[in-house]
Structure 1
Amino acid sequence: MRRILSAAVLVGVTSITTQAVFANEELAKMAENPKNWVMPTGDYANHRYSELDKITADNVGQLQAAWTFSTGVLRGHEGGPLIIDGVMYVHAPFPNTVYALDLSQEGKIIWKYEPKQDPSVIPVMCCDTVNRGVAYGDGKIILNQADTTVVALDAKTGEVLWQAKNGDPSKGETATAAPMVVKDKVIIGISGAEFGVRGHLSAYNLSDGKLAWRAYSVGPDAEMLIDPEKTTELGKPVGQNSSLESWEGDQWKIGGGTTWGWYSYDPELDLIYYGTGNPSTWNPAQRPGDNKYSMTIFARDPDDGQAKWLYQMTPHDEWDYDGVNEMILTDLDIGGTNRKALVHFDRNGFAYTLDRATGELLVAKKFDPAVNWASEIDMDKSSPTYGRPKVVAQYSTHQGGEDTNVQGICPAALGTKDQQPAAFSPDTGLFYVPTNHVCMDYEPFRVSYTAGQPYVGATLSMYPPKGDTHMGNFVAWDAAKGEAVWSLPEQFSVWSGALATKGGVVFYGTLEGYLKAVDAKTGKELYKFKTPSGIIGNVTTYEHAGKQYIAVLSGVGGWAGIGLAAGLTEPTAGLGAVGGYAALSDYTALGGQLTVFGLPEQLTSAN
């Protein structure tokens, strides 16, 4: 299989999707059919794009709700369902119930799986009890439970086939990320940097759930699966124990760098890609050094986990700008040369385009003009600070030492974009990016570590940038040029994942609860519908019985909606989000519902 994949040649922006599915023969067969949605991000390249074109810019304005389904849970509903050969697999926040629904009977329940988890895991979850979805492979549905238990369920019956424990909630280790199946492995991340968890990415055998390898984000080379002479950063070997040398003493042992975002895979290069999160604690004075390799993009071999290249975006993070957001893989013409590109919209407000084969930095530009913590990324290859951000001293949280309130930092800790995934359309060549337009005041303070207790060390408040009243934008981005083509303001952050379709329509949801459809070329709003609760889920499309449908989970929550989800009222609670999003309660309330949309003639046929 490896020889076949290595011989394949990627041609154009759509080829990655075609090639990627060969990584797993069953996934290959199903993913060739756009009627299905077989991976949490649509494909291995994280395009979140569908070839379905029955819903178009001309008729999308006629969409109506076709049917709905309640998950029975009232917390934040991130992620989205899988659709596999007429069956929809829907997940929920804690306790992470999974439903298999029959699409031929408008969502009749085929089976239900409800884990028996200790509710003591709930207060250890940083920013709501969210879960970003299940994965599929080899006839199994893979669930990554909040308590870090990885479960393989029989896709037809819901029977538990195997279980594996990926962490220890008593130490603050939890799970929110969707798994990814690559070849014969299940790729799993870990959450909990706000509790001093040392991050890692793990691979379990799809067949029996046994641990195949584990790569830590920080620490000794052997535990990070780094070869100091062969693993490179910006074209140079990282050198021996490069992570250890960037931490003071044993701080790395509680150093963060968790891996709770999204994963992607290039089968031709046979590499998986992902990002690591913030270093622990949020008080930068307590962890001198670059704190490698938190805030880092990794490229690894899926068979043994060995790192090929890495790139640290925010050395010695002072603002909680986790680097876990999705890596989108496509080929781009940059400066007249076709490059195998990786595009990443980071929490720190910069959009990065790298060569995914080598890790070469190609483009790094702000995707929100409000970003002020750094002026730019140094792109001079001859410079000793090549690839590093040029930090603006006024917005450094070291300024004035501990217990000094640094004001007006943009973006806020939740970033210009959090985990809500962008979409890429090969038809327009544009990336569609849900963003936060939010700034913050940040006051670090000294904190001591106790296993299982919060290890944050900062107090925050959040608000829109000076002179603005809106807290979000939906942006169309040209990653080759590093510039926005158009941008749509939203009252609150756009916390849902986007969807692009061959019909020329892009979909996203709003925190007030609207599903919106816009023209892929111009951004013109074509349709909106108010669902029962705020949308932080990812929009999905599928086809059944010859009809195209749009599906989205609504259920306000996540970091931005944590005040509503957890009943918090103190403005600085929720790591600063409660005060910033206090007005959200005027527009929506708790809920947990899947809404499926179709065109009127589809509704007639379905009923």
Structure 2
Amino acid sequence: MIASRLVGAMAATVALTATALANDSVLKCIEDANNWCMQQGDYANTRYSKLDQISTGNVGELRVAWTFSTGVLRGHEGSPLVVGNTMYLHTPFPNIVYALNLDDENRIIWKYEPKQDPSVIPVMCCDTVNRGVQYADGKIFLYQADTSVVALDAKTGKEVWKAVNGDPKKGETGTSAVLIAGDKVIVGVSGGEFGVRGHISAYDIADGRRAWRAYSVGPDSEILFNPEKTMSLGKPVGKDSSLKTWNGEQWKLGGGGTWGWYSWDPKLNLIYYGTGNPSTWNPAQRAGPDGKQIDQKWSQSVIARNPKTGEAVWAYQFTPFDEWDYDGVNEMILVDDMDVKGAKHNVLVHFDRNGFGYTIDRKSGIPLVAQKFDPVVNWATHVDLDPKSPTYGRPAVVAAKSTFLNGEDSNTTDICPSAHGTKDQQPAAYSPLTKLFIVPTNHVCMDYEPFKVEYAAGQPYIGATVSMYPPKGSPNMGNLIAWDASEGKIVWANKEQFSVWSGALTTAGGIACVGTLEGYFKCVDQKTGKLLYKNRTPSGIIGNVFTYGHKGKQYIGVLSGVGGWAGIGLAAGLTNPTDGLGAVGGYSGLNGYTALGGSLTVWSLP
């Protein structure tokens, strides 16, 4: 009896410890499904809402309830937050934040408009986007373009503290949303196209003091890897795991940006995030001293870290020695008790730019499933998941699609996917109703010609000319798919004329909603993909669909405002087909459907 009581007490202690590690204010906010407290919906990045008033049976009756103009053009990524009776809305540069009173006809309570040097705009790789604010402890956290992390009083909009996370003069910029993990504000950095060495940092939530910084590449002491304890594919990484895979000191310009989405498992006390491309895009300049390929760890990887200390627990590289700009920064979606190959696992599901959908045991970092989530992917045949194989964990590259083997100044054609990847940062959603992932995808291929480039601080350090276009025989450039991550297979797919660059939402009402680059807001049946509702918004949509409840009524909304990488031609007025890192030519047809904008549209039932 005493033993059973002791076991019960220990279990309760573990549960309390896990809860204590999380930020109580965020957990309490998430518990009320009427709120939309995080950009990701929850710490697991599921983007699933328990609200079910709007369902498959009545979603076709939706009507526009209200709209709001942000007053800013360019690409509107991310979404507003809703905490209680207040909505917090952000914009692209200059990163204005509005607080709206939902109880008083959405009146503006306060407006925060930071003063930023506009010289940051030319060093923002792919439009002046921002992926949104976050909430915790009565504060709103904004990550500005100039890399300032700002904590605002949620009631007044007054600055509580500000911390500088990088230097735009070197090409470091801020585009992502922070993650609140306990008493830490976790934030990364953009700038892989400018020779920036990516890093992720933690700031104390109370006063903004930096607690730790972990670089993506470099010495163990700077990437916070323990040679004996940090694991990869079930084995210790060993001393200098990153340095050994770079030629000389090129890691100092190594890329590995951390500009994507972050998730957190409070029970394991691990944060998960991805790293971006190695610099430059010209693989020949990153070859080893013998002219052979080297991995350039830990770019293009998922890393699991302790948010208190920053120490890495495990890492796994998706695309060693990248030759195509397949950043690994896309969201890591956490799902418990998934049945994979006859066993239950708590997993991390990741849809990589390289076109493979990964299901990974999130405690060990062991990949369980890796399959193409677009059949046209042709740069690699498969990912080797045989632990006994010498190429365990690695993609099997098709030599004809290798921009390195084909040589500098040679144009490698018909590579699928393009540098946009089969999915970029636009987040997928998971539904516990169907156990399916709703994934917005790019159905785009490219020609890729590397060339030699010299580094200069604050100047583009790219070294490749890229042209993008739909796959041969496929006029559409996007698909919205449902993915079974336990099997690694597509369940259904809806074709879209352009890439689906909007973040998806799933709800307990059985619907999944997303936006299109032409500006359509669409809701489908999660099980079948059947279109149930669509409505045109003022501009192309690259924002993420969200939902909230107010005074007994459910609302669904999305930011419209074309831009981002896919819409950079419209957003920045570019016309040369290879500008925008190849996107301008690929998406030139967009200007026949939409124009610049910046607004929020919200729908409800009559």
Q: Match of 1:267?
A: 266
Q: Assess, with a 3 A threshold, how the Cα gap between structure 1 residues 547 and 55 changes in structure 2: closer, same or farther.
A: same
Asked if 2 retains the 8 angstrom alpha-carbon contact of 1:150 and 1:165, the reply is yes
> Which residue is 1:14 aligned to?
none
* Secondary structure of 1:7's aligned partner: helix
Provide the C-alpha distance between the structure 1 equivalents of 2:245 and 2:302, rounded to a whole number of angstroms. 17
- In the alignment, does 2:302 pair up with 1:300? no
Q: Which range is displaced more, 212-221 or 394-403?
A: 394-403
Whole-Å Cα distance in 1 between the matches of residues 544 and 63 of structure 2?
Answer: 18
Counterpart of 1:548 in 2: which secondary structure? Answer: strand
- The one-letter code matched in structure 2 to 1:360 is I
Partner of residue 380, structure 2: 374
Question: CA, structure 1 residues 171+295, in 2 after alignment: closer, same or farther (shift >3 Å)?
Answer: same
**Residue 416 of structure 1 aligns with which residue?**
422
Which AA in structure 1 matches 2:14? A
1:427 to 2:437 alignment: no
CA distance in structure 1 between the aligned counterparts of 2:246 and 2:253, rounded to whole angstroms: 11
Shift of 1:451: 0.4
Cα–Cα, structure 1 residues 204 and 4, in superposed 2: closer, same or farther, change >3 Å?
Answer: farther
Would you say the 8 A contact 1:277–1:321 is kept in 2? yes
- Could you report, residue by residue, the CA deviation over 1:321-355 in whole angstroms, capped at 9, with x for unpaired residues? 00000000002111221101000000000000000
Q: Which amino acid aligns with 1:42?
A: G
TM-score scaled by length of structure 1: 0.96
Q: Would the aligned equivalents of 2:517 and 2:590 in 1 still touch at CA under 8 Å? A: yes
**1:526 is the counterpart of 2:532:** yes
3-state DSSP class of the match of 2:103? helix
Structure 1 residue 596 corresponds to structure 2 residue 571: no
Structure 1 residues 353-502: aligned runs within 5 Å: 353-502=359-508
In structure 2, the residue matched to 1:60 is: 59
Match for 2:295 among 272, 290, 299? 290
Aligned equivalent of 2:15: 8
CA distance in 1: counterparts of 2:240 and 2:118, whole angstroms: 39
Distance 2:252 2:190 in 1: 15
Query: In structure 1, what is the equivalent of residue 211 of structure 2?
Result: 212
Aligned to 1:130: 129
Q: Helix, strand or coil: the match of 1:473? A: strand
Distance 2:324 2:536 in 1: 34
For 1:7 and 1:208, how far apart are their aligned partners in 2?
A: 29
Structure 2: which amino acid aligns with 1:492? F
Q: Secondary structure at the match of 1:47?
A: coil
Is the alpha carbon distance of 1:6 and 1:361 closer, same or farther for their aligned partners in structure 2, counting shifts above 3 Å? farther
Partner residue in 2 for 1:188:
187
SS in 1 for 2:554: strand
Aligned residue runs from structure 1 range 3-402, under 5 A? 7-8=14-15, 23-288=22-287, 289-331=294-336, 332-402=338-408
Inter-partner Cα distance in structure 2 for 1:138 and 1:71: 26
Q: Give the whole-Å Cα distance in 1 for the aligned partners of 2:444 and 2:16.
A: 42
Q: Deviations over 1:125-177 (max 9, x none)?
A: 00000000001111110000000001000000000010000000000000100
In structure 1, list runs of 5 or more residues that go unmatched: 11-18, 601-607
Contact conserved, 1:475 with 1:488, CA < 8 A, in 2? Answer: yes
Query: Which whole-Å CA distance do the structure 1 matches of 2:489 and 2:204 have between them?
Result: 41
SS in 2 for 1:8: helix
1:568 aligns with 2:574: yes
CA offset at residue 22 of structure 1? 6.5
1: CA distance between counterparts of 2:87 and 2:120?
A: 28
**Corresponding residue for residue 549 of structure 2:** 543
Q: How far apart, CA to CA, are the structure 2 residues paired with 1:419 and 1:187? A: 18
CA deviation after TM superposition for structure 1 residue 30, in Å: 1.2
1:493 alignment partner AA: S
Q: Which residue of 2 aligns with 1:15?
A: none
Distance 1:4 1:187, change over 3 A: farther
Q: Secondary structure at the match of 1:197?
A: coil
Taking a change above 3 Å as real, the CA distance of residues 405 and 323 of structure 1, as seen in their structure-2 partners, is: same
Find the residue that maps to 1:130 and give its secondary structure.
coil
Q: Which residue identity does 2:372 align to in structure 1?
A: K
Q: Answer yes or no: is the 8 Å Cα contact 1:349–1:368 preserved in 2.
A: yes
SS in 2 for 1:536: coil
Q: Provide the secondary structure at the position in 2 that maps to 1:537.
A: coil
Q: Is the 8 A contact 1:425 1:431 kept in 2?
A: yes
Alignment gaps of 5+ in structure 2: 1-9, 288-293
* Cα distance in 1 between the residues matched to 2:15 and 2:495: 42
User: CA separation in 1, counterparts of 2:573 and 2:305?
Assistant: 41
Return the letter of the residue paired with 2:155. K
Q: Secondary structure at the match of 1:104?
A: coil
Whether the aligned pair in 1 keeps the contact of 2:45 and 2:263 (CA below 8 Å) is yes
Partner of residue 4, structure 2: none
Displacement after TM superposition at 1:21 (Å): 9.2
The match for 1:604 is none
Against the structure 1 CA distance between its residues 7 and 215, is the aligned structure 2 distance closer, same or farther, given a 3 Å change threshold? same
Output the CA distance in 2 between the equivalents of 1:333 and 1:106.
Answer: 47
| C-alpha distance in 1 between matches for 2:524 and 2:277 | 34
In structure 2, what is the Cα distance between the partners aligned to 1:525 and 1:516? 7
Matching residue's letter, 2:383: I
Q: Contact (CA 8 Å) 1:413, 1:440: kept in 2 or not?
A: yes
**1:20 positional shift:** 7.2
Following TM superposition, by how much is the alpha carbon of 1:116 offset from its aligned partner in structure 2, in angstroms?
A: 0.4
Give the Cα separation in 2 of the matches to 1:68 and 1:475.
29
| 2:21–2:269 CA contact under 8 A, matched in 1 | no
CA contact (8 A) 1:20 1:265 kept: no
Distance (Å, rounded) in 2 between the aligned partners of 1:79 and 1:34:
19
**TM superposition shift of 1:379:** 1.2
Residue 326 of structure 1 aligns to which amino acid in structure 2? Answer: E
Equivalenced residue count is 590
User: Per-residue deviation at 1:257?
Assistant: 0.2
Deviations 1:470-524 (A, max 9, x none): 0000000000000010000000000000000000000000000000000011100
Cα 1:534/1:379, change in 2 over 3 Å: same
Q: How far 1:7 moved relative to its partner?
A: 2.2
* In 1, Cα distance between equivalents of 2:148 and 2:481: 36
How far, CA to CA, are the matches of 1:367 and 1:8 in structure 2? 36
Instruction: Work out the CA distance in 2 between the residues paired with 1:22 and 1:256.
Output: 31
Alpha carbons 1:184, 1:206 under 8 Å: kept: yes
- Cα distance change, pair 57–279 in 1 and its aligned pair in 2 (3 A): same
- CA distance in structure 2 between the partners assigned to 1:531 and 1:302 by the alignment: 39
For 2:250 and 2:30, the matched residues in 1 are separated by: 44
Alignment partners' CA distance in 2, 1:143 and 1:400: 44
Give the Cα–Cα distance (whole angstroms) in 2 for the partners of residues 262 and 508 of structure 1: 18
- Return the letter of the residue paired with 1:504: G
Per the TM alignment, residue 104 of structure 1 is displaced from its structure 2 partner at its CA by 1.4
Measured against aligned partners, the alpha-carbon deviations of 1:6-57 in whole angstroms (never above 9, x if no partner) come to 72399xxxxxxxx779701111211100000111101000000000000000
Determine the C-alpha separation between the residues in 2 that align with 1:599 and 1:444. Answer: 52
Report the Cα distance in structure 2 between the residues aligned to 1:428 and 1:20, rounded to whole angstroms: 28
Shift of residue 292, structure 1, vs aligned partner: 0.5
- Residue-by-residue CA offset, 1:273-299 (whole Å, 9 max, x unaligned): 000000000000001211100000000
Q: 2:562 touches 2:570 (CA, 8 Å); kept in 1?
A: yes
The structural deviation recorded for 1:106 is 2.9
User: TM-score under structure 2 normalisation?
Assistant: 0.96
**SS class of match (1:120):** helix
- Check the 8 A contact 2:400/2:406 in 1, yes or no: no
